[in-house]
Structure 1
Amino acid sequence: MTPRDASDDPSDTPSGTPSGAPDDSRWSDLERPPLNAASLRRALVRDGSLWTSLDVVPATGSTNTDLAARADGLPEGAVLVAEEQSSGRGRLDRRWSAPARSGLFFSVLLKPGPTVPVERWGWLPLLTGVAAATGLSRAAGVDTALKWPNDLLVTVGGEERKAGGILAERAGSVEAGGVVVGLGINVTLRADELPVPTAGSLALAGAATTDRDTVLRAVLRSLEQWYGDWRAVEGDPAASRLQETYAAGCATLGRKVRAELPGDRSITGEAVAVDGDGRLVLATGDGVQEPVGAGDVVHLRGV
């Protein structure tokens, strides 16, 4: 999801509520029906599946926070979905909100250790981006590009727009080895609901379907496949084809970018590669190739 300032109106009732409906009705927008939790569980939670539980709640502060608090007591594969988040968080603890049922707001609990060495866990947000882009393409027919390290981009009116974001956080005890990965995807967000002009949604990108049940199933099935393949080779990004697939779908590569780093430092250069550690490699003007492992990246020009 695109970060939204806390001062923006987080009204529960989205615009477009049918005439005559009570202002405080959470289910009044017929274009945005609630998710079918029972149907989702039947489709996804089964013997041999990665997904071991799936819960849908009407509203919460943050699915990442809620799932992380229970990480030690849950098996791998727990999924928590919220119809609405009031305190959703992005990278650098940015806050955002969106109208109820206008998107998919969910978190999953993964426990890659001890099979995957800890030093390879940094690939999880990139893996989730590849899986989400694959699932969205299959289910909604929307070409989704990846902005390093954690944004999902779609094209609206010929312009690149952010339609989703990913946040991975360590959760639970060191022994449990848990990682909670959260995703926010704008599905039916309308033009007058965009928090910033650079935001987008699947609907605005011309999606073939905006059925959130269909989209969520596709994304979770894709994530199950990519995570299983990655874990089967001990998290090796080359052997699992994750590194090359991410690079192929990464809109950041080939562009001039500015990386804003911790400590008020920035680097400007051409993004030339994603290395074996998942870092973005920048070729600077003085001929140095510098890997960036954390920070905000601003696209300065097209390919």
Structure 2
Amino acid sequence: MSGAHLLVLACGAATGLQDGGRSGYQRQGLSGSGAMDRLALAAANALVGNPPETVAVELALAGARLRAVGGVVRLALAGAPFALSLDGEAVGDHRSFCLREGATLALAPPRRGVFAYLAVAGGIPVPERLGSRALHLRAGLGGVDGRLLRAGDRLPVGAPAGAGADRTIDPLPLDSEAPVRVVPGPQADHFPDAAVAAFLSATYAVSNRADRMGYQLDGPAVAHGERGFNIVSDATVAGSIQVPGSGLPIVLMADRQTTGGYPKIATVISADLRRVAQRRPGEPLRFEAVSVERAVALAREAAAVRAALPVRLRAVISREERLMAANLAGNAVDALAP
């Protein structure tokens, strides 16, 4: 661990630490938590040379200000396009950069999307809890003392910044208009065929009742079948779409409860969970049914994309370097020539 740390000067109410999440505890009633957009987490970590699921600062809609104390800190932001500035000078997202000692990084709220991840070279070595540093707020577990970040927090830095070249990567697509692909069930038979068809053809909107536990949707109510809206509680996964008595679907997310007593009309495929997570309240959301086989293939494709992130990195080229590399004399003419 280096002697440097990040001092939190200000941050939004939903700012916390997240990694790839914890597994193996659902039978004890603890869901995995972890980053809401794991591709963005992996991209930010790749930019600073970390393993893909290393803990990072998760920002949601609101900005933040942080200062480097005790040394230089190498950082990178990926996900929703927050506007970044170092001591008032703009710097792009989806690239790495160094925050020198005493300098302040300001992040303004994003123009699109919800979640972004600020990765730190060497990680943020807060204590692990049950094999993860991910904050599970409802359980009071992980993160900094089991809570969200607040002004005055000091985040340790796992390694010095080093003198390596800064890297960049193409911004990640937010897929804000693409349909969210789902596998029907596991309780699709609790709904009339016409209700399932209506669900798949409807356009919903993310409501204001959306957080890391679940996204409740506004739109056409889904009609239940003769067995009603109660079932014997059974397991849920990230992406389970419950339909309570109101008929308004709820997409369960990273901090969901581990069991539930409402029938689940469909399940968002793992590859598309980030499409849901990055939808803002009021933004439209449509569903498209796919087979289990197709969902597995898409999961493998998504895993391959994450694994390939390090090879997609490019060196950051400064404006001066671009000018030096340009063939400025290529079109020059001899003023004395006839």
Q: Which has the higher helix share?
A: 1
Superposition TM-score tier, normalisation by shorter sequence:
under 0.3
Taking structure 1 as the reference length, the TM-score comes to 0.27
Taking structure 2 as the reference length, the TM-score comes to 0.25
Structure number with greater CO (CA < 8 Å, separation at least 6) is: 2
Higher Cα radius of gyration: 2
